[in-house]
Chain A
C-alpha cells in the first residue's frame, strides 16, 4: 500500500512537470489569443477532473443510501472535497483568462453561473458534513449530493444547447482544436487525474484514521467512569 502510494506520488510529480513543460513551452501558440490561451491547459482539465469527482460523489452517495456502508460515505466525502479544490481552480483561472480575452473578469453567462452554483452546492455539502452533529448527517449529505449532481450535466451541456459567452466545445463533435494542442490538453488531464487520485488516496486514509480515533475516544470515555 505504502509502496503503491510512493510510486503514484513519483509518477504524478514527473507527469505534472512534463505537462507543465508541454503547456508552457512545447504547445503551439494560438493565433488570436496568443500565450494567454495556454491557461486552457489548466482550466479545462481541472473542469473535467472536477466533473469526474462529482460523478464519483454521486455514485458513492447512491451506494451509501442503498447499503449504508461507511466506505461509500468516505468515498463520497473525499470526492466532493477534492472536486471542490479542482472546481475552485476552474473558477479562479476562468476569470484570469477572460479578462485579457473578453475585457471583463466575470459575466453572468449561463455556463459561468451554473459552474458557480455547482461550486456553492458542493461547498454547502462540505459545510453540512463539517458542522452538522446530527446522526443523520451522512444520509442528508448523500441526498444533497444526489440533487447536486444534477447540476453537472447542466454545466457540461450548457454550451451545447445555449448561446453563451463561453466558447463552444473545441474537442469531440464539431471541435476544431489543433491535434498538437489536443495532445497537450490530454497530457495535462492525465497529470491532473493522477494528482486528484493522490489527493483522494491521502484524504481517504486520513478520514479512515480520523474515524478510528473518534471510535477509540468514545470507547475510552465509556470506560473512564469504571476506572
Chain B
C-alpha cells in the first residue's frame, strides 16, 4: 500500500492534464473548459511519456479538467501503475467516485477529492453532488482536499460540525492562492521570497504533461491561468532527464510576479532535495 508521506518526501510530482474538459465551473479554477473534448487519452503518447520517466520516482497526478470524464481512465491508471517507480494520484470533483468507484477501493491509488467549501452565512457550498459527504478517516488513500477560500476563513467558525468531520489524517488543506480576484476583507498570502520562487522554478510544485498539445509545460499555475503561457518543451528523453535533475526549468519572467503560496520553510525540505539529488 502506498504511504503518502513517503511519496511526498521522495517523489517528484507531475500533473497529467489528460483533457481540459470539466463538468463543473468552480470559481477559483481556471484550469478547465466546459467544452467536452479529447476525452480519450492517446495511449501511445502516455506509454512514451512513462517510458521516459521510467527510472524516476514520479507521482503522476491525473487531472485536467476532470479525469472522471475520461473514457479510458481505468486503462490509463493501469498503465501508470505498471511501473513500480510511478505512483498514480487522481484529483477529482467527485465524478470519479460516481463513474469509476473502483478507484476508491484501491489503496495503491491516491484519490483526492477537492471541496471548495465556500462557507456562506446560511449554508456550506460543496463541490460535486450533495449526496457525497466528506471522506471519513480511511486506509484506502482517499483524501478530502479543502481549499481555504476567503469565505472559508470568514465563516468556518459557524460550522463546527463540518470542521470536526474534516479533522483527521485523510484531509489535506490547501492555501488559497493568487489566482483568484483580490478579496479586500481577507488577507491573501504575501508573495513568497525570491529564493523560494527560484527554487520553485527549478522544479515547480507541479510541471505539466499536456496531453492535448502533447508537450511538457513548466508550471501548472501559469499554464492554467492562461494569462501568460508557461514555457513549453518537447517531450524527449533528454528533456525529461534534465527536468528530473533540476536542469531544464529556469526562473522565468512570470516567476517574478508569481503569488502562488510557497511554504516559507522551503519549497521542498532539504531532505527531499538530498534524496532526489543523491540518485
Do A and B make up one complex? no
Chain A interface residues (CB < 8 Å from chain B)? none
